[in-house]
Amino acid sequence: MLRTLTVGAIACIFHFPVLAQDNTERPLLMPGKRTLYQRALANPGSRLYAKPSLDAAAQPLIPFTVFYAYGRKELNDSKWVRV
């Protein structure tokens, strides 16, 4: 009985990392670093847009919320960060 439980527990332990690796997209790294990711801090009055356009639907953000940065883009003299 104990042997069966141990094998089942080991199978569960090895199964969870596989599930965690489904999302292969990673945040941007800080320049010169291998494990420190870039983050963005929401200033008071910041809005979250569905796409990089002022015409897109937007929702207000809670001030000082921290997001991981997944991409950066400059469009029409505006800097956008994908979070």
In this predicted model, what pLDDT tens digit does every residue of 15-38 receive, in sequence order? Answer: 555 555 566 899 999 999 999 999
Helix, strand and coil content of the chain, in percent to the nearest 5, comes to 25, 30, 50
pLDDT value at residue 83: 95
Q: What is the pLDDT of residue 5?
A: 46
pLDDT at 24: 83
- Kindly report the average pLDDT of the chain as a whole number: 82
| Residue 18: C-alpha distances to residues 13, 23, 65, 80 (Å) | 10, 10, 30, 32
| Structural domain boundaries in the chain | 2-82
What does pTM read for this prediction?
0.66
